[in-house]
Amino acid sequence: MRSSLVLIVAVLLSACNTTPEYETIDGVLEVPENRQNPDSRTLNLVYKVLKAKKPDSLKAPIVYLQGGPGGATLFMEAFWENHPLRDDRDIVLMDQRGTGVSEANCIESGDAMFAILRLDLDEESEYIAVEEMLSECKVTIDNKRVDLAGYNSRENAADFEDLRKALGYEKWNLIGASYGTRLGLTIMRDFPNSVRTATLIAVLTPETNFYNDFLQNFENSLFSVLKLCEENESCKNRYPNLKERLLKSLKKLQTSPLHLEYKEQLFVLNPQDALLLLHQSLYDRYGISNIPSLIEAFEGGETEPIVNAIKRIEFVYNIINLPMSFSVMAFEELPFYEGVSFDKTLNQQSELEFNPTSFDLGFKLMANWHSYRASNIENQAVVSEIPTLMASGSLDPVTPTSNANKALKGLKNGHEVIFTDDSHDLFNPCLFEITENFLNDPYRKPDLDCSTDRKSIEWNLLKPEQ
pLDDT per residue over 301-346, tens digit each? 899 999 999 999 999 999 999 999 999 999 999 999 877 666 666 6
Specify the higher pLDDT residue, 359 or 278.
278
| Longest CA span, the chain | 90
Give Cα 312 distance to the centre of its chain. Answer: 13
Give Cα 163 distance to the centre of its chain. Answer: 21
Asked if residue 221 has pLDDT above 50, the reply is yes
Asked if residue 156 has pLDDT above 70, the reply is yes
Q: Output the pLDDT for position 68.
A: 95
Give 179-220 pLDDT, tens digit per residue.
Answer: 999 999 999 999 999 999 999 999 999 999 898 888 999 999
CB atoms near residue 121 (< 10 Å): 17
Asked if residue 284 has pLDDT above 80, the reply is yes
CB atoms near residue 446 (< 10 Å): 20
Q: Output the pLDDT for position 351.
A: 78
Q: Which helix (H) or strand (E) holds 174?
A: strand 172-177
Give 97-120 pLDDT, tens digit per residue.
Answer: 999 999 999 999 999 999 999 998
Cα separation, 423 vs 397, in Å, equals 7
Give 231-267 pLDDT, tens digit per residue.
Answer: 999 999 999 999 999 999 999 999 999 999 999 999 9
Q: Which amino acid is at 290?
A: N
Asked if residue 430 has pLDDT above 60, the reply is yes
Q: Output the pLDDT for position 3.
A: 38
Q: Please, which pLDDT band fits residue 6 given cuts at 50, 70 and 90? A: very low
Asked if residue 296 has pLDDT above 70, the reply is yes
Q: Are strands 62-65 and 172-177 parallel, antiparallel or unpaired?
A: parallel
Q: Is 28 helix (H, G, I), strand (E, B) or coil?
A: strand
Cα separation, 426 vs 283, in Å, equals 9
Q: What CATH number does the domain located at 20-104+150-207+380-452 have?
A: 3.40.50.1820
CB atoms near residue 47 (< 10 Å): 22
- Mean pLDDT to the nearest integer, 156-167: 98
Q: Which helix (H) or strand (E) holds 273?
A: helix 271-281
Q: Output the pLDDT for position 17.
A: 46
| Burial call 212-233: b when 16+ CB within 10 Å, e when fewer | bbbbebbbbbbeebbebbbebe
Asked if residue 171 has pLDDT above 60, the reply is yes
Q: Is 229 helix (H, G, I), strand (E, B) or coil?
A: helix
What residues form DSSP beta bridges with 384? 411
Provide the percentage of residues in the chain whose pLDDT is more than 70.
92
Q: Please, which pLDDT band fits residue 386 given cuts at 50, 70 and 90? A: very high
pTM of the shown model? 0.93
- Mean pLDDT to the nearest integer, 126-140: 95
- Mean pLDDT to the nearest integer, 388-392: 98
Q: Please, which pLDDT band fits residue 349 given cuts at 50, 70 and 90? A: low
Cα separation, 72 vs 315, in Å, equals 12
Which of 286, 329, 332, 281 minimizes the C-alpha distance to 309?
281
Q: Output the pLDDT for position 359.
A: 72
Give 14-54 pLDDT, tens digit per residue.
Answer: 344 454 557 899 999 999 999 999 999 999 999 999 999 99
Q: Output the pLDDT for position 354.
A: 72
Provide the percentage of residues in the chain whose pLDDT is more than 90.
84
Specify the higher pLDDT residue, 350 or 94.
94
Q: Please, which pLDDT band fits residue 361 given cuts at 50, 70 and 90? A: confident
Burial environment of residue 307 by CB neighbours within 10 A (0 to 12, 13 to 18, 19 or more) = middle
241-246: long-range contacts, CB 8 A cutoff, minimum separation 24: 242/292, 242/295, 245/295, 245/296, 245/299, 246/295, 246/298
* Helices first, then strands: H and E counts in the chain: 18, 10
- At a CB cut-off of 8 Å and minimum separation 6, what does 125 contact? none
